Structure 1
Amino acid sequence: MKVLKLFIFAFICCGVTEAQETQVDFNNPLGLKMETEYASNNEEISDILSFEGIDYLKLKFSDEKLKGKSYKLTVKEIWNGKVKSESVVVDSKTLGVKQFETINDSVLSFKVISKLTSDNQLKMTFKFPRFGITKKFDAIKSDDYSLRNLADESDLEIGYNKAFYLLAYILPYEREDGSKSWCQVGSSGDDIEKWGEEYGIKHYLLFEMKFE
């Protein structure tokens, strides 16, 4: 079951891990840049959110060519190595508010806040500057889900007029010795839809972004 809610809201939230910021441009000839900020430098709030199992991520795309572009974020639900469904998280052209249809600046920023709920669903809020969207996805009962920036970890190309992999909400790869790794999966390259088969990951969400 999926629940979609579009709402206007404002709130303050800090992150869940030690503060970190990276900038990625992948030597992109089109000039599109992405900055990622993980969590907050407020250690106490970070500790609380980590204890509650909340992931928090800030994304910022910048380029003069962003002005006038629409944007679309989609998600694939992958179970046991197979894509079971694909849906739209947000399509700026279909929001029903004319001033939201395209980007009116050289920057697009948004935040992602997510957690596993008590009824075994992944609840995710995507907070854009003037609106927010919350969705829920079926999940397995596990505290090991982690929100990853694939474009950052796997050094994937980003650009215009073609969808690119952006985020994944994944379970870890479990080694024979019982240890778990998210980074080994997140940095394994662009054959992302095969992770379930390659790493034995039962379930994950794969998000793609497109500017056009």
Structure 2
Amino acid sequence: MKKILIIGLILTSSFSFSQEKEASEIKMISDYGSDNSEIRDILQIEGIEYMKLSFIGKELVDKGFHLSVKEIWNGEIKSEGTITNSKKIPVDQFQKINDTIFNMKVISKLTNDNKLRMTFKYPQFSTTREFEAIKTNDYSLRNVAEAGSIDINYNETFYLLAYILPYENDGAKYYCAVESSGDNIENLGKEFGIEHYLIFEMKFE
């Protein structure tokens, strides 16, 4: 009887831990560009980045979200700021997520006056920001969280996106280190001599 009781306790504890872990995690699905080939051609010729993100979690309902950005020049963080903090929006219906799925879109491009213009579209509203940039067509918007090296949990800030320049080696340009950088993403500028990039962090709370 004692052995059966001990096994039962172990199984119960494992089941409870599994449920708790599942509830605390958020899954993310991302999609790039458009399913329409003609629209993809237009996006490419115009240099427009178009990314769709879906976050899925049982406890997303009634959560707020906070999206922030760090601007890194020559390996140093020069500025930090908030893109969107839903809890501080004066309109009550925009302050919290009302579903177990949260969708957002990111649309961006380098303007003619060398600024990175980015629009963040949420289910009920959108916001647009501009950031100083250098004159080059090499900027690329990367989904840092997609690589799987970053966990997305409630009440924890995680790296979401990076708008970055490539690093050069033997005359070739590379972006691949961004996806696999994990928590080291803020040091990529120093490590690879990248002049400028943006890091976007997010939190569901």
Name the TM-score class by shorter chain. Answer: 0.7 to 0.9
C-alpha deviation, 1:172, in angstroms: 0.6
Alignment partner, residue 158 of structure 2: 164
Match of 2:26 among 32, 39, 47: 32
* SS in structure 2 at match of 1:158: coil
Whether 1:199 and 2:199 are equivalent positions in the alignment is: no
**1:33 Cα shift?**
0.9
Measure the CA separation in 1 of the matches of 2:202 and 2:177. 23
Structure of higher CA gyration radius? 2
C-alpha separation between the residues in 1 aligned to 2:136 and 2:175? 14
How far the C-alpha of 1:28 sits from its partner, in A, is 6.1
Aligned with residue 115 of structure 2, among 121, 125, 130: 121
Aligned counterparts, 1:108-187, within 5 A? 108-153=102-147, 155-175=149-169, 177-187=170-180
Equivalent residue for 1:47?
41
Q: Distance in 2 between matches of 1:137 and 1:30?
A: 34
SS in structure 2 of the partner of residue 47 of structure 1:
helix
Q: Secondary structure at the match of 2:198?
A: strand
Q: Count the aligned residue pairs.
A: 185
- Gapped regions of structure 1 (runs ≥ 5): 1-26
Q: What root-mean-square deviation, in Å, do the aligned CA atoms of Structure 1 and Structure 2 show?
A: 1.3
Question: Structure 2: which 5+ residue stretches go unaligned?
Answer: 1-20
From 65, 84, 87, give the equivalent of 1:90: 84
State the partner residue of 2:5: none
Q: Contact 2:142–2:163 (CA<8 Å) still a contact in 1? A: yes
1:184 Cα offset (Å): 2.6
Give the Cα separation in 1 of the matches to 2:61 and 2:93. 13
Cα distance, 1:185 vs. partner? 2.8
How does the TM-score come out when normalised to structure 2?
Answer: 0.87
- CA separation in 2, counterparts of 1:181 and 1:124? 23
Offset, 1:29: 6.3
Q: Which has the higher helix share?
A: 2
| Map of 2:182 onto structure 1 | 189
Alpha-carbon distance, 1:94 to partner: 1.1
Q: TM-score, normalised by structure 1?
A: 0.84
**4+ residue segments displaced more than 4 Å:** none
